[in-house]
Amino acid sequence: MTIREIEAKSILRKHKKIDSWFISHYGMNLYRGCIHNCVYCDGRSEGYYVDGEFGRDVAVKVNAIEILRKELDPKRKRIPFRRSFIMVGGGVGDSYQPIEKKYQLTRKALQLVSEYDFPVHMLTKSTLIKRDIDILKKINEQSRAIVSFSFSSADDEISDIFEPGVPSPAERLETIAFFKDEGIACGMFLLPVIPFITDTAELMEETVKKAVKAGVDFIVFGGMTLKEGRQKDYFLDVLKKYYPHLIAEYQNIYKENRWGEATREYYSLINQRFDRIAKKYKIPGRIPPSLYRDILGENDLVIVMLEHIDYFLKIYGKSSPYGYAAYSISRLKEPLSTIKGDLRKLKGVGKVTEGIIMEILETGRASYYEKLLTG
Ligand code: SF4
């Protein structure tokens, strides 16, 4: 293992449009590279330019806190922050990988987030996050915290093969129960499921059942990508060793393409499979509005709900104007409530969408959306 200390130029990443998967305008990565070494990790792919051997080498942004202090200080901002969760985690390195014990960058970043009173959404696979319960509770009381864990399934043996450096799914589930007991909202990112291994109806249902028992507030689901090059080569080597009979199946669904996506038919099949199970257990397949309704500005609230509607309709193979409408709204400078009479002039907004937007503006809810969310 090699640890390199590097100086970063910036820490906070701003999204052009609110990210409706995480309910976030801003994200941060304090490490580049990840000792957790998940076999399917797309941080390994060349497109992310992570130096060194992925899974063994990590770069630590040692000046991160100094920079973040400046970036989070509202007095230094020309354009005010958009209210949303600051996303900590995901990307090219888990914020709670083992070197966090020594550097404590995530802990110090959370202290700043708390000082400046932002809501935070954490995503990790590590139980080390329990160490920061004191700050997370404080943030939750001030402005809200969500703690999410990613899983490829709840099967400990499969996880040993594909997630060699992280606490077992059983330990992650226990940690979810721990945070729920402390009054903090928790989510499962069942992402990615591993084709033909953790995407079976039986294992998915088992995983959902365990997550619901642990108390999760939502489960966000997604399939796996395999980008040509390091990511795909590394994954297929492990697959050959443990599941050689599946190689041909993988060749059928992963044809060469820029994003490493599997076929549309395959994604559609597993999304529908998951949706059926989620509905059976009445667990939202997206972060529910009760966790963000009071945080977001009105335009962002509408964008997120429309994008969630779009997500569900696409799973059901239906055409949807909602993603397009959400995009049009994201380009607006003015609040939607000031142009109520002109909503239909926005691209993608027809009569039905207008009705949904008005309902959200007036009540903070959308009954059509709520039906899609939990069935
Ligand atoms: S924990 Fe996340 S970032 Fe780290 S190797 Fe696994 S998938 Fe990649």
52: tokens are 């060194």
Average pLDDT in the chain = 95
Q: What is the 3-state secondary structure (H, E, C) of the chain?
A: CEEEEECCCCCCEEEEEEECCCCEEEEECCEECCCCCCCCCHHHCHHHCCCCCCCCEEEEECCHHHHHHHHHCHHHCCCCCCCCEEEEECCCCCCCCCCHHHHCHHHHHHHHHHHCCCCEEEEECCHHHHHHHHHHHHHHHHCCEEEEEEECCCCHHHHHHHCCCCCCHHHHHHHHHHHHHCCCEEEEEECCCCCCCCCCHHHHHHHHHHHHHHCCCEEEECCCCCCCCHHHHHHHHHHHHHCHHHHHHHHHHCCCCCCCCCCHHHHHHHHHHHHHHHHHCCCCCCCCHHHCCCCCCHHHHHHHHHHHHHHHHHHCCCCCCHHHHHHHHHCCCCCHHHHHHHHHHCCCCCHHHHHHHHHHHHHCCCHHHHHHHHC
Assess whether pLDDT exceeds 90 at residue 50.
Answer: no
Residue 231 CA, ligand 1 centroid: distance in Å: 12
Answer with the residue of higher pLDDT: 59 or 75: 59
In angstroms, rounded to a whole number, what is the distance separating the alpha carbons of residues 340 and 146?
32
Calculate mean pLDDT across residues 93-114. 97
In angstroms, rounded to a whole number, what is the distance separating the alpha carbons of residues 181 and 204?
25
pLDDT of amino acid 305: 98
Residue 325 CA, ligand 1 centroid: distance in Å: 33
Calculate mean pLDDT across residues 335-355. 96
Read off the pLDDT of residues 303-344 as tens digits, 9 standing for 90 and up.
999 999 999 999 999 999 999 999 999 999 999 999 999 999
pLDDT of amino acid 125: 98
Read off the pLDDT of residues 224-272 as tens digits, 9 standing for 90 and up.
999 999 999 999 999 999 999 999 999 999 998 889 999 999 999 999 9
The residue whose CB lies within 8 Å of the most ligand 1 atoms, and thus the one to mutate among 34, 96, 126, is 34
pLDDT of amino acid 76: 79
- Residues having CB closer than 6 A to ligand 1 are 34, 36-38, 41, 43, 93-94, 125, 166
Residue 44 CA, ligand 1 centroid: distance in Å: 9
Which of the four pLDDT bands, split at 50, 70 and 90, describes residue 221? very high
Assess whether pLDDT exceeds 90 at residue 137.
Answer: yes
Residue 253 CA, ligand 1 centroid: distance in Å: 23
Which residue puts its alpha carbon closest to atom 2 of ligand 1? Answer: 94
Percent of the chain with pLDDT over 70: 100
pTM: 0.96
In angstroms, rounded to a whole number, what is the distance separating the alpha carbons of residues 372 and 97?
36
pLDDT of amino acid 185: 98
Which residue puts its alpha carbon closest to atom 3 of ligand 1? Answer: 93
In angstroms, rounded to a whole number, what is the distance separating the alpha carbons of residues 28 and 269?
33
